[in-house]
């Protein structure tokens, strides 16, 4: 997802541009592809361009309970300042190295692909659940309990209940 900012870079700070994007974004490693619908606002700053992004995407996730693949909707908000790569290389700009700002290359192209991927991965849940009431897999026979029922008596075999039962019987005796 490339945006040419050469015209904007010639304008005074405070000048803005709006872009509506609907695209498939590939990270620089070229592995993941995500579809992104984004509203991008760019504003010329003294050092570069301020990027404000509001975006949405559906990322492919595997449910932590039932192990089924599904599309998880995510929202992304980005507020970052992109700097000119040649200024950064020449040490003209003072910034925290750890921040790794997005860069505008020598052709005045701003590539949003990696930053969108980075924010998308942050917005993706660590323990994705396909739906709030996902019943998961039967821990004994492994069938997907969202799709069918089984005859297993998991409540009696669940070791966590054994501990609880012991506690109850000890306190009762
Ligand atoms: Zn699930
Ligand atoms: Zn079962």
What is the pLDDT, as a whole number, of residue 8? 97
DSSP the chain: -EEE-HHHHTSPTT-EEEEEEEEEEE-TTS--EEEEEEEEEEEE-SSEEEEEEEEEEEEEEE-TTT--EEEEEEEEEEEEEEEEHHHHHTT-S---GGG---EE-TT-EEE-HHHHHHHHHHHS-SS--SSTT---B-TTT--BTTT------HHHH-HHHHHHHHHHHHHH-
Q: Of the ligands numbered here, which is closest to the C-alpha atom of 135?
A: 1
Measured in angstroms, how far is the CA atom of residue 154 from the centroid of ligand 2? 7
Measured in angstroms, how far is the CA atom of residue 61 from the centroid of ligand 1? 10
Angle at 75 between CA 70 and CA 80, to 5 degrees: 135
Question: What is the rounded CA–CA span in Å between residue 47 and residue 84?
Answer: 7
Q: Of the ligands numbered here, which is closest to the C-alpha atom of 157?
A: 2
Measured in angstroms, how far is the CA atom of residue 155 from the centroid of ligand 2? 11
What is the pLDDT, as a whole number, of residue 153? 79
What is the pLDDT, as a whole number, of residue 140? 92
Q: Give the pLDDT of the chain (173 residues) as one tens digit per residue.
A: 889 999 999 999 999 999 999 988 877 766 678 899 999 999 999 999 999 999 999 988 999 999 999 999 999 999 999 999 999 888 888 877 777 888 999 999 999 988 998 999 899 999 999 999 999 999 999 999 999 999 997 665 556 666 666 666 666 55
Is residue 124 a contact partner of residue 59, using CB atoms and an 8 Å limit?
A: yes
Measured in angstroms, how far is the CA atom of residue 148 from the centroid of ligand 2? 10
Q: Any idea which residue has 């949003």 for tokens?
A: 112
Listed residues: CB within 5 A of ion ligand 1: 63, 65-66, 130, 134
Q: Of the ligands numbered here, which is closest to the C-alpha atom of 153?
A: 2
What is the pLDDT, as a whole number, of residue 105? 94
Measured in angstroms, how far is the CA atom of residue 67 from the centroid of ligand 1? 6
Q: Of the ligands numbered here, which is closest to the C-alpha atom of 150?
A: 2
Nearest partner of 43 among 12, 19, 16, judged by Cα: 16
Measured in angstroms, how far is the CA atom of residue 162 from the centroid of ligand 1? 26
Q: Of the ligands numbered here, which is closest to the C-alpha atom of 63?
A: 1
């Amino acid at each position: 997802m490339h945006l040419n900012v050469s015209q904007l870079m010639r304008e005074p700070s405070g000048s803005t541009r709006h872009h509506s994007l609907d695209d498939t974004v590939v990270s620089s490693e070229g592995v993941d592809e995500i579809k992104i619908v984004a509203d991008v606002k760019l504003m010329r700053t003294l050092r570069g361009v301020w990027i404000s992004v509001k975006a949405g995407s559906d990322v492919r996730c595997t449910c932590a309970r039932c192990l089924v693949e599904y599309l998880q909707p995510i929202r992304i908000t980005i507020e970052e300042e992109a700097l000119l790569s040649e200024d950064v290389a020449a040490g003209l700009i003072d910034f925290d190295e750890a921040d790794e700002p997005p860069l505008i290359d020598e052709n005045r192209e701003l590539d949003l692909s990696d930053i969108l991927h980075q924010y998308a991965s942050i917005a993706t849940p660590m323990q994705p659940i396909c739906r709030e009431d996902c019943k998961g897999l039967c821990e004994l026979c492994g069938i997907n309990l969202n799709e069918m029922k089984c005859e297993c008596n998991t409540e009696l075999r669940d070791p966590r209940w054994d501990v609880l039962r012991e506690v109850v019987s000890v306190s009762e005796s």
